[in-house]
Amino acid sequence: MTRRRQGKSATEYMLLLASLVVAVVAGGYSFVPVFESGVNALATDVSEVLVTGKIGGTGSARGDSDSSCYYTYDPRTGRWHDTSHDYLMVTNATARDAGCY
């Protein structure tokens, strides 16, 4: 004897949502050139970090940074911090301008 199942489970909703996200990303990649170049740049950056362990050429993914940079990268938060000023966060642009990556 089989029981009738009514309603949908959370897993079914998550599979539906995942397929919609994949469809939107594939459509954007296929039809929007800026989106395609952004995805390719992201893939290059991620593969560089995975292979070399370095973020942007200086400083490693473990949080080490170049000695010329006076900001510290925290991989737990993904942010740059100014340790000389109560560990305040700085923007990625500020860290880049300071030569951190």
**Three-state DSSP class for residue 87:** coil
Does the residue 77 lie in any domain?
Answer: yes
pLDDT at 77: 75
Does the residue 1 lie in any domain?
Answer: no
Does the residue 25 lie in any domain?
Answer: yes
Does the residue 4 lie in any domain?
Answer: no
Which is it for the CA torsion 79, 77, 70, 65, positive or negative? negative
Q: How many domains does the chain have?
A: 2
Q: Are residues 63 and 99 in the same domain?
A: yes
Ordered per-residue pLDDT tens for the chain, 101 residues: 567 767 778 889 999 999 999 999 888 888 888 778 777 777 877 777 777 666 654 444 444 444 567 788 877 777 888 877 776 778 888 888 887 77
pLDDT at 23: 93
pLDDT at 21: 93
User: pTM of the predicted model, to two decimals?
Assistant: 0.38
In which domain, by residue range, is 31 found?
Answer: 10-52
pLDDT at 66: 41
Does the residue 3 lie in any domain?
Answer: no
Q: Are residues 64 and 101 in the same domain?
A: yes
Does the residue 73 lie in any domain?
Answer: yes
- What's the Rg (C-alpha) of the chain? 21
pLDDT at 60: 41
